[in-house]
Amino acid sequence: MQIKSPRIVHQHERPWRWQLLLFLLLLGAVAWQAYSWGVRQGGYDQERSTREISALKTALEEQQAALRDLEAATVRYRRQAEIEQQASRELQQQLIGAEDERAALKSELEMLRSLVSSDTGSLYIRNLLLQPGEQAHQYTYRFTIVQVLEKVKTTRGKLVMKVSGKLDGKKKRLDYADFSGGEEKAVKLEFSNYKDVAGEMSFPQGFVPESMLIEFLPRNKELKKLSKTFVWSDYLQGTE
């Protein structure tokens, strides 16, 4: 028979582990108590701190939104200022052009006044221009009637226009009513120093214009009748 030796268990092998674990637990408890005591002593309030941080974040977002709005407004105002500056420059150019035109007209009036005498009259036709219309027998016209007598403040009278030429090889004179599409043979005018006149002419098929007679019959007793004939080809523009 084999004889088994009894196992001898030493009671002092494991208790030190429990002692170490207990020591660590006590150490952690002491450390937590020390941390809590330090927080209380420092006046730290976690809930209040969280609220303050949240409020600061909200305020920051509001400030960022306000900054974006200000930047957008700045862009709009800058663009508006650029548009206003451009409009101002264009208006200045228009004013300069108007002043130049006024100065030129004034100079022309002064020149014409210097030529005026009791025999030469005081009514003139200036800047006659004839141009072809959309169709072969259509034309447009424009010119200016100038009155240079200073003592006449308002000029009143009738404008008469006649176009002479050939229709199918025969001489033909057309009155204002014949080519204007209306019934009146004259146009009533009233102006001070000058009057711009413009319109359209529609001739019969086959009519070839050669000259244009422009007359102004003033009602003012100080003014003499104006009558002048213009060679059509000398004032026709826009043709090859």
Name every residue whose Cβ is closer than 8 Å to that of residue 11 and which is 6 or more positions away in sequence: none
| Residue 230 backbone dihedrals phi, psi, to 5 degrees | -115, 135
| pLDDT tens-digit profile, the chain (240 residues) | 555 555 554 555 556 677 777 777 777 777 777 666 665 565 556 677 788 788 888 888 888 888 888 888 888 888 888 888 888 888 888 888 887 777 777 666 666 655 554 445 688 899 999 999 988 889 999 999 998 888 889 999 999 999 999 998 899 999 999 999 888 889 999 998 899 999 999 999 999 999 999 999 999 998 899 999 999 999 998 765
Taking the CA atoms of residue 96, residue 98, residue 104 and residue 105 in that order, the dihedral angle to the nearest 10 degrees is -160
Provide the residue ranges of all domains of the chain, joining segments of one domain with +: 49-115, 123-235
Global pTM value: 0.53
pLDDT for the residue 72: 87
Cβ atoms within 10 A of the Cβ of 52, count?
11
- Distance of alpha carbon 161 from alpha carbon 216, whole angstroms: 9
Query: What CATH architecture applies to the domain 123-235?
Result: Sandwich (2.60)
Cα separation of 176 and 62, whole Å? Answer: 76
d(CA 1, CA 26): 54
Integer Cα distance of 26 and 28 in angstroms: 5
Alpha helices in the chain (DSSP H): 15-42, 46-115, 176-180, 232-235
Sign of CA dihedral 213, 114, 195, 99: positive
β-pairing, 226-231 vs 170-175, is unpaired
CB 156 within 8 A of CB 218: yes
Phi/psi at 168 (nearest 5 deg)?
Answer: 55, 40
Residue 169: what are its φ and ψ, rounded to 5°? 85, -5
